[in-house]
Amino acid sequence: MTELHESAGTGPGDAHFTVFPDREDAAAVARSFSSPGTRVLKHASGRPWLVGQWHDQDMVSARAGHTALAVIGCCPIDATELERHAGRLRDLAGLGALARTLPGSFHLVAALDGRLGVQGTASGLRLVFHASVDGVRVAASRADVLAGALGAEPDREQLALRLLWPVPHPLGEAPMWQGVTAVRPEDALIVAQDGRTVRHSRWWTPPEPVRPLAGSAPLVREALTAAVDARTRQGGVVSCDLSGGLDSTSICFLAARSPARVVASTWPGRDPADTDLHWATLAAESLPGVEHVVWDADASPLVYTDLLAIDDLLDEPTIGVMDRSRVLHHLPAMAERGSRVHLTGIGGDHVAWCSEAYYHRLARTHPLFALRQLRGFRALWQWPLTTTLKALADQRPYPAWLADTATHLRDPLPPTAITSLGWGMPPRLFPWVTPDAEEIARQALRRAAEDTAPHHRDRGLHADLEQIRSCTRIIRQWDRMAARAGVPMASPFLDDRVIETCLAVRPSERVTPWQYKPLLAAAMRGVVPDPCLRRTNKAAASMDAADGLRRHRADLRALWEDSHLERLGLVDGAALRRLAERPSTPDLQHATLYSTIAAEVWLRGLPRTTKAAARTTP
């Protein structure tokens, strides 16, 4: 067995665990998962149930009769209340119903009459994986833990697929190792009494978007308040991003109403046109009890900083490594000020706004209304008329769309009207990706198209869920990095209850060319001062990204020296080294390097015991 499952250091907010059935053979397997700092929760029999690393504030457990429940993560529930729920649980199907009543972001694990139920979050922020280890079905919150137990090497096909930009549903959900299975966010894992037989059972379905905005705004405010309160109710010091944007400003004002003392953190942009500091200062003036820390813009790490030094143990590649230094840079200073958790506004763009793809359906069900709105979108986003009409005329179902992408992997990116009104951004590969990797990706796309359904039949709701889950795959890794840095991060907008409440609002009122984030503005009226609600844009970090490419081109070149991906035959290392010498080339626009860098950094960060060549796909 490798040591991949051992943590490189665990702090509050970085709980990870494995789950075992109540059997003697499972107890023997569980012992192999022990390492320094490991904690164990036991079945009534005394055999291991949960094995992992967590802090007391990350775990609540209770038992009633033959039922045991554990909540791992952020949830304002105590052992007494959880014990009452355990006493009422008659079937594992009730696990999902319980989860839907609780705020926060957490895993929920149940043991009932010898069976197990394990589920994460519908957002995808907390995932569940499982594998057969010595004949015993073991569930885990991280895929690398199971890969370590199996002694598995990264799968070459999965690495090839992660070079796609973007990785379309469902290809991005697969773990990076053969023998490890992912549970979809909307499903729970059910393990039978024999400890071997498993099934996936759906526990979450997105709401139909039918609620009017006026009636939904108070519900969104209530859900977001509960999400913030789940992190601040214990008091102490919490820190918050305060970029001046509506998302972070809303979180900051809600936190300021809590028992906690708030430290607000603002990074001004380097771009002279960036107005973040103006809006952040405006907000801070209405927060007299909040300490406002403004950092030196020039001290902010650029995109691509310290790529060669990343040593976080991650269970999949993530483009979040590009911004790792930027995201974590201020956390030590927040820790010095006593912060026990850092709240962000990440996710607001994904739930308070929504995809214009809803108008593909609205153009057919409400044509006059949709026509007026689409005229506004065309003016706002500069969509040509013919391209817009072409996008609206495209009625391919998702499997057909996915299959078609396999034949266009080297094409230029399509116009934004096509991607905005369609099923999403079609995947692309770039010149440095080898023909072998291209063929692997093409075959995988075609196989997936044979039996894949979209997240939802409405391409707008499909696009919303895809964007949310793409975001949480990044945040999931950032959260681990932040906890290791000493201050766990939290993104209340990405709590399931907040997502559900926002998705239930009519898209015709949630996304409009005439108003910026109308749902969040309505929900925060009376909490956030009206002048702060009037912002109609957000800053971009394109200047920081461009400067980062130039400043760190030596690191980028070093990344491709003795490239792991090159040794696997997936990229042309010489082409990448030449690109590193030309950071201003048009070939590096639109984040085209991100997926390749993510895969290379991930391979380099794996423990030495897994550095052997990845298994070749049969």
Closest CA to 613 of 558, 570, 572, 557: 570
Instruction: Check residue 165 and give its pLDDT.
Output: 95
Q: pLDDT tier at 1 (50, 70, 90 boundaries)?
A: very low
Q: Can you give the pLDDT at residue 552?
A: 80
Give CATH 3.60.20.10 domain extents, the chain. 16-202
Per-residue pLDDT band at 580 (split at 50, 70, 90): confident
Comparing 28-42, 268-282, 332-346, 349-363, the range with the smallest average pLDDT is 268-282
Q: Is the pLDDT of residue 510 over 60?
A: yes
Helix (H) or strand (E) run with residue 339 in it: strand 339-343
528-578 pLDDT, tens digit each: 999 999 887 666 555 566 777 778 888 889 999 989 999 999 999 999 999
Count of beta carbons in the 10 Å neighbourhood of residue 308: 13
From 246-260, 443-457, 544-558, the region with the lowest mean pLDDT: 544-558
Q: Which pLDDT score, from 0 to 100, does residue 232 have?
A: 97
- Residue 11 confidence (pLDDT): 59
Report the share of the chain in percent with pLDDT over 90: 82
Q: What are the DSSP E strand ranges found in 253-296?
A: 261-266, 291-294
Q: Taking all residues of the chain, what is their mean pLDDT, rounded to a whole number?
A: 92
Q: For residue 449, is pLDDT > 70?
A: yes
Per-residue pLDDT for 301 more than 50? yes
DSSP for 41-103? EE-TTSSEEEEEE--GGGEEEEEETTEEEEEEEE----HHHHHHHHHH--STTHHHHHHTT--
Assigned superfamily of 213-352+476-534: HUPs (3.40.50.620)
- Tens digits of per-residue pLDDT, 322-360? 889 988 999 999 999 999 999 999 999 999 988 999 999
> What is the predicted pLDDT for the residue at 305?
87
CA–CA separation, 270 vs 299, rounded Å?
A: 10
Going through 177-310 in order, the beta strands assigned E by DSSP cover 181-183, 187-191, 198-202, 237-241, 261-266, 291-294
- Helix (H), strand (E), coil (C) string for 119-145: ECCCCCCCCEEEEEECCEEEEECCHHH
Q: Which residue spans of the chain are classified as CATH 3.40.50.620?
A: 213-352+476-534
- Whether domain 16-202 has CATH 3.60.10.10: no
For residue 170, cis peptide bond before it (omega within 30 degrees of 0)? yes
Per-residue pLDDT, averaged over 416-428, amounts to 97
The Cα-based distances of 128 to 121, 288, 499, 539 in angstroms read: 9, 42, 19, 35
**Residue 538, pLDDT score:** 66
- Which residues is 26 bridged to in the sheet? none
Does position 268 have pLDDT exceeding 90, yes or no? no
Residue 612 pLDDT more than 60?
no
User: Would you say residue 2 has pLDDT above 60?
Assistant: no
Average confidence (pLDDT) over 370-390: 96
pLDDT digits (tens, 9 = 90+) for 195-204: 999 999 999 9
Residue 367 vs residue 590, higher pLDDT = 367
CB-CB contact of 196 with 137 (8 Å): yes
* Pair of tokens at residue 334: 């927040």
Give me the pLDDT at residue 585, please: 72
Q: Are 566 and 572 in contact (CB under 8 A)?
A: yes
